[in-house]
A and B are shown apart, each in its own frame.
Chain A
Amino acid sequence: MSNTETLLSIKELHASVEEKQIIKGLNLEIKPGEVHAIMGPNGAGKSTMGYVLSGRDGYNVESGSVILDGEDLLEMETEDRARAGLFLAFQYPVEIPGVSNLEFLKASVDAQREARGEDAITSADFLKEAKAACKQVNLPVSFLKRGVNEGFSGGEKKRNELMQMLLLKPKLCILDETDSGLDIDALQVVAEGVNSQRSADRSFIVVTHYQRLLDYIKPDFVHVLSEGKIVKSGDASLAHELEAQGYAWLQTAPAEDELEG
């Protein structure tokens, strides 16, 4: 952990997908250990923000800056951003048939440790850690042998994402609508997993459409993202206001799709 007081600093970020501008002047500062919730209507750019930060192909930054732990994130390749401690938990985790979860996780951890100049972890030690992580997210140990997300239910996929987070120990975790498609029990498991990982040197961006998740993962700050920028920020109580009143009152003009609807 470096001494910079800010872990993540996003300044005036503009980004587009297929020439369509989605992020339009985003500003956000996150300090180590903080949990920030990003809420907002559909199409506000919530998922796009996660993809832009993690450097997904096709998501083009037009202007602005993003500094993670003192380093220029936008200059880095996708894998280097991950190695620098950025983790994205996917909304729809993809399957990789035939590649076992264990093999995938070990390769990921190895790649990250190597990039940081750390010694490789032995297979036996890793297996021990992986089994413990499985247990923590309430997945049977047999899931380590199964193909990555292959035939997993929606809830299992989300818990599998969480397991990856536990093993990779990132500095900044972006949870992209991790609550979508989860029943209340699964939601609690995921929230407990996240809470167990909260620490002074790990920050979270919790992207969610609903306030429900925030009952379990208490955010330090809540931001409303609308039309590609943050239009309102507050503490946890803002989430309740949004739950009661919806997003419409925050928007200067109704979103186009709402007009059409």
Chain B
Amino acid sequence: MTEQIDKALAREYEAGFVSDVESETFEPGLDESVIRRISQMKNEPEWMLEWRLSAFREWLEMEEPDWALVDYPKIDFQAISYYSAPKSMKDKPKSLDEVDPELLRTYEKLGIPLIEQQMLAGVAVDAVFDSVSVVTTFRDKLEEAGVIFCPISEAIQKYPELIKKYIGSVVPKKDNYYAALNCAVFTDGSFVYIPKGTRCPMELSTYFRINEQNTGQFERTLIVADEGSHVSYLEGCTAPQRDENQLHAAVVELVAMDNAEIKYSTVQNWYPGDEDGKGGIYNFVTKRGICHTNAKISWTQVETGSAVTWKYPSCVLKGDNSVGEFYSVALTRGRQQADTGTKMIHLGKNTKSTIISKGISAGKSNNSYRGLVRMNPGADGARNFTQCDSLLIGDKCGAHTFPYVESRNPSAIIEHEATTSKVSDEQMFLCRQRGLDPEKAVSMIVNGFCKEVFKELPMEFAVEAGKLLEISLEGSVG
């Protein structure tokens, strides 16, 4: 049976193609001159460059973290190129007609048509290709509602006051090694601002694509939801199938002002490497949101890709009565390694957090949940509920749970539940005896296991996530 499951899991990575696009790519290497060049390419104001340089100087003093349960060869930061953009993007196409058709075809192949008429109704997309944003759709419609949705590089020029106020306000420059690196070299990403009392009329989404070889992708996303506003945002990501590892170190900052709500969903499908662990993306990401009074931030992630994942989307529950949620499905197979979870920092009174984590391990992979729940002295009446479930497929994989609980307020209530189960022979036999083939059986069992998380995804993407899991599991049964 294990053999069958492995076979069902051994699937082809459908997003593994390379686009034939002529790019302008920096020589590998990292020093202050590289950062100056990035800043220059982006036409940035002086203050932004200074901010980058100070982050770079901090980074040089920092150590690479080694506490996660992941194992990979030391990264040579001088062997990475820190900027790559299609040449056709140099003239900044003003409309879709001017965008290189090959770029549009790339996204179409990935199932993300950028022609507005063909798109899912009600979803605006910012498409980021290596280090630049190719196009952002439905901008006019969003502007009518006062919503700003644009590449962050553009926001730095057009909305400097907003950027100055909020960039680095949730994830400080020297928060951690990869965040500091991102501050120094980030290239593009999305900026979202929802004005007071506005409900964003569409789902917003950013699609990240790494194409160029030996290039790192360092994107940065900043979402500010002003008082009483509401936004739902989704990011997706893929990369070509290559034998070399590639680094992706992103920073996402969310600011939910009083009574605001941000729903942030991720469907992560970076190239995971081959069966023997060759190639694949190192996904070292820092995501954090701050909730002011009565605000709510909800993180939902479906992580199926990347060779190594190091990622802890977190909430700082600063305002009284604020709410943080984290719903996660992490699937590892082959030689994939994931160390992922969340941090819920309760500062305000009556703050609430919910953590639902579903880890699925197959093949020879390792899947760890690492989560911190901290109740600060001021967090009177705060509550947390955590549920961590692990599902093992086969007997060569590992599932680990590292919960950290720190309570400094006696009135705070913390609950933690954890289970580990296996896709059992009995379940497989029942499904097959009813006529289901083994692949369908495994994907059904796994989908059932993930149900609580999938129901948190925006409707348009829940189906996609289910399918993604199905593709990921293809061949993992035998």
Q: Interface residues, chain A, CB within 8 Å of chain B?
A: 54-58, 77-79, 81-83, 87-88, 90, 93-94, 96-99, 103-104, 107-109, 111-112, 115, 147-148, 164, 168
Contacts and interface: CB of A to CB of B under 8 A. Distances in A.
Given A94-B424, A111-B437, A78 B432 contact: yes
A61 B246 CA distance: 50
Given A79-B436, A112-B435, A97 B448 contact: yes
B430 interface: yes
B447 interface: yes
A115 B434 contact: no
Interface string B323-355: 000000000000000000000000000000000
B435 A98 contact: no
Given A57-B1, A57-B425, A97 B434 contact: no
A104 B434 contact: yes
Contacts of B452: 98
A249 B436 CA distance: 43
B429 interface: yes
B451 interface: yes
Interface in B441-474: 444-445, 447-452
A105 to B, nearest CB: 8
- Report, nearest first, the 5 A-B pairs whose CB atoms are least far apart: A98-B448, A99-B448, A108-B434, A94-B426, A98-B451
Nearest to A95: B427
8 contacts: A54-B433, A96-B427, A96-B445, A97-B449, A108-B434, A109-B435, A111-B436, A148-B430
Interface of B is mostly: helix
B435 A94 contact: no
A97 B449 CA distance: 6
B444 A93 contact: no
A81 B434 CA distance: 9
Contact of A78 (B424, B426, B433, B440): B433
Contact of A108 (B425, B427, B435, B445): B435
Interface size class of B (residues with CB under 8 A): 20 to 34
B429 A78 contact: yes
Nearest to A56: B429
Contacts of B427: 94, 96
A87 B434 CA distance: 7
Contacts of B444: 96, 99, 103-104, 107
Nearest to A111: B435
Contacts of A108: 431, 434-436
Interface string B16-58: 0000000000000000000000000000000000000000000
Given A56-B429, A147-B448, A168 B424 contact: no
A81 B427 CA distance: 17
Contacts of A147: 448
A87 B433 CA distance: 7
Contacts of B447: 98-99
Given A57-B425, A90-B430, A98 B437 contact: no
A111 B428 CA distance: 15
Contacts of A107: 436, 440, 444
A168 B449 contact: no
B437 A79 contact: yes
A115 B433 CA distance: 14
